[in-house]
């Protein structure tokens, strides 16, 4: 593999593999700020607030489907039907215990220091309209990852993959040598 695309918690894994085995993963592109908060204090957005994350964890334990809907709120550019359908689909295939474990690992799995070591081998893909990961959060991440490349697109890779594909192709060129 030459370029890894990390979505959500996949960013942690892609960055750690690229750091440990650059022969397998030369470059990483990730979306959202799944790396954790770059500083010691809370960052902008719902995911940047420790209190909000603990509230979400509690909601997922009490009412799993409502927790999934809250987690997806704002992720599809305001398309509530899409978000509701996606939450229902996730609820059918992902057991509650697994989702809670995944969220706990995501909260605890900060990878900012590892990402910093990748330098210009790292591309951060930002897009507006996600209350969990607002563009302001990317600015604080930009301060922590000063040599990484930052790209802004109109929407995320799940809803608009045609916006992400050209970036992946461009990023993969140096990896091909």
pLDDT at 40: 46
CATH classification code of 3-41+110-176? 3.40.50.1820
pTM: 0.73
pLDDT tier for residue 39 given thresholds of 50, 70 and 90? low
DSSP string, 73-128: TTTTTT-HHHHHHHHHHHHHHS-HHHHHHHHHHHHH---HHHHHHHGGGEEEEE-S
pLDDT at 44: 62
Segment 111-117 shows an average pLDDT of 87
pLDDT at 75: 62
| Rounded-to-integer distance, Cα 62 and Cα 78, Å | 25
pLDDT tier for residue 58 given thresholds of 50, 70 and 90? very high
Segment 28-33 shows an average pLDDT of 80
- The model's pLDDT over 120-154, given as tens digits with 9 standing for 90+, comes to 999 988 888 777 777 777 777 888 888 999 988 88
- The ranges assigned to domains in the chain are 3-41+110-176, 46-107
Give SS3 for 30.
Answer: strand
């Amino acid at each position: 593999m030459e370029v890894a695309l990390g979505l959500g918690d996949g960013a942690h894994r892609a960055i750690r593999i690229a750091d440990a085995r650059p022969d397998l993963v030369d470059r990483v592109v990730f979306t959202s700020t799944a790396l954790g908060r770059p500083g010691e204090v809370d960052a902008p957005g719902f995911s940047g607030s420790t209190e909000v994350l603990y509230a979400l964890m509690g909601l997922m334990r009490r009412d799993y489907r409502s927790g999934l809907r809250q987690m997806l709120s704002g992720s599809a550019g305001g398309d509530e039907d899409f978000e509701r359908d996606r939450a229902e689909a996730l609820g059918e295939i992902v057991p509650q215990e697994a989702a809670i474990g995944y969220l706990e690992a995501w909260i605890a799995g900060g990878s900012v220091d590892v990402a910093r070591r990748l330098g210009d081998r790292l591309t951060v893909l930002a897009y507006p309209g996600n209350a969990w990961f607002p563009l302001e959060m990317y600015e604080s991440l930009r301060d922590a990852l000063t040599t990484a490349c930052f790209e802004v697109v109109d929407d995320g890779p799940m809803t608009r993959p045609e916006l992400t594909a050209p970036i992946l192709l461009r990023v993969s060129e140096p990896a091909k040598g």
